[in-house]
Amino acid sequence: MGEVVVSSSSEEEEGMVVEFETEKDIGSSEVVRWEEFLPRMVLSVLLVEADDSTRQIIAALLRKCSYRVAAVPDGLMAWETLKDGHHNIDLILTEVELPSISGYALLTLVMEHDVYKNIPVIMMSSHDSISMVLNCLLKGAADFLIKPVRKNELRNLWQHVWKRQTVCFTFKLVLFIFLAWFVFLHMIMEVY
Amino acid sequence: MERTRLRRQVALTRQSLFDQGFLDEQFIQLEDLQDDANPNFVEEVVTLYYRDSARLITNIEKALEKNSLDFNKLDGFMHQFKGSSSSIGAKKVKAECTLFREYCRAGNGEGLPHLSVQGLNGFAWIHTSCRCTRTFQQIKKEYATLKRKLEAYFQVVRQAGPAETACWPK
C-alpha cells in the first residue's frame, strides 16, 4: 500500500496552501496518505512497453491509480507522442528494452532536450543489473522499477512530478521576490 | 441452484490453479483490474499473451534448430518470453524459463558453476545445448497445459455469468 508517514511543515505558495499533518494529529495507529491533502492534479503518463500484455496491464494499473495514460509499444512512437504536444505529458514510464530505439536512448533524447528534460523519466526492467540501473540513474532517470511492477509503486509516481514542480516553483518564487525587492529598492532610491 | 453450483465450480477451478502452482499472485493483480468498465480484462490479457507468445515460441524453435546455437539470441527471446509470462502470473512457465536462461548463460561460459567450460569445451557445449532443448520442451509443455486450464476456467466463468469471479479475502 502507498501510505507514508509525513512530518509536519506548511508553506504558502501563491494561494496554494500545502499542509502536512503528523501522525500524532490523527491517531497514533493511523498512517497519513499524502495525496488526500495535496491539491488534486491529474497526471498524464507516457507508457512505453513493447510486450502487449504487459503494456495492457500496466496501463490499466496506471488508470486505476487515476493517471491519464498514453501507451505506445516503442521508443520512436514515444518520442513522436511527446513532440506532438497533444497529451501534455507529465511523466514518462519506459521499459529499458524496446524495439527501434531503446529505453536508454529515449532517456538520452529526453535529457538532452531543453524542454522535455524536466519531465521525470522512470525506467523499468525485469533485469536487476546494477550497472544498468546506475547507467540510467546517472543519465538522469528519476527512478528504476524492477518488474513485475506493483500498483503501490505506480501510485507513488506522482511524487516525482510534484518534487520537480515544487523545486522549479520555489526557485521561480525566490527569484521573483528577489527581483521585486530589487525594483522596490531602486524606486525608493529614485524618490530620494 | 445452477447458479450457485457454477459459482462454486469457478471458485474451485480458480483455487486449484493456484494450489497446483500454475498461477501466482500476479494473476490476482489482473483480477483486481477487472471491473464494470473492463468486465473481461483477465481473459483479454491472457488471450493477448497467448497470441504474442506463440510468435516468440516459433522464434525460439527456429533458433534451436540451428547447428550452432546463438546463446545470446536465445537468451534475448527467452527474456522477453519470461517477462510476458510473469506479467500474467504464469508461475511454472516462468520457472522453466529461468532454468533455460541459466543454461544459455552456461553455454556462454558464465552461469552454473558445475558446468565448467574449461578443458571440456566440446562436451560441455553439447551438454548445454541438449539441456536447452530439453528445457524448452518442458516450457512448451507447461505453456500448453496452462493454456488448456485457463481456457477451461474462462469457459466456466462465462457459464456462471457476469460478476461471478470469486473474490477471495486477501
- B101 lies within 8 A of chain A by CB: no
User: What does the pLDDT average to over A119-144?
Assistant: 93
Say whether pLDDT at B164 is over 60: no
The per-residue pLDDT for A26 is 41
Pick among 1.10.3720.10, 3.40.190.290, 1.20.120.160, 3.40.50.300: CATH of B2-30+39-160: 1.20.120.160
pLDDT above 70 covers a percentage of chain A that reads 79
Work out whether strand A16-19 and strand A10-13 pair parallel, antiparallel, or are unpaired. Answer: antiparallel
Confidence of residue B70 (pLDDT cuts 50, 70, 90): confident
- The Cα–Cα gap between B91 and B23 comes to 5
DSSP, residue by residue, B51-111: HHHHHHHHHHHHHHHSSS--HHHHHHHHHHHHHHHHHHTBHHHHHHHHHHHHHHHHHTT-S
The per-residue pLDDT for B102 is 84
Nearest to A120 by CA among A143, A104, A103, A148: A143
- For A34-56, the pLDDT digits (tens) are 655 555 578 999 999 999 999 99
A60 chain-B contacts, CB cut-off 8 A: 33, 38, 41
In B, minimum Cα distance to A150 occurs at: B29
A51 chain-B contacts, CB cut-off 8 A: 52, 80, 83-84, 87
The per-residue pLDDT for A148 is 86
CB contact under 8 Å between A127 and B79, yes or no, is yes
- The Cα–Cα gap between A189 and B11 comes to 82
Say whether pLDDT at A2 is over 50: no
CB contact under 8 Å between A148 and B38, yes or no, is no
CB contact under 8 Å between A126 and B49, yes or no, is no
Say whether pLDDT at A4 is over 60: no
CB contact under 8 Å between B26 and A51, yes or no, is no
CB contact under 8 Å between A57 and B33, yes or no, is yes
Optimal mutation site among A49, A51, A126, interface B, most CBs of chain B within 10 A? A51
In B, minimum Cα distance to A59 occurs at: B33
CB contact under 8 Å between A54 and B44, yes or no, is no
Answer for the pair A78, A106: CB distance below 8 angstroms, yes or no. yes
B88 chain-A contacts, CB cut-off 8 A: 53, 57
Nearest to A90 by CA among A114, A135, A120, A115: A120
The per-residue pLDDT for A177 is 93
Question: Domain locations in chain B?
Answer: 2-30+39-160
User: What does the pLDDT average to over A8-21?
Assistant: 37
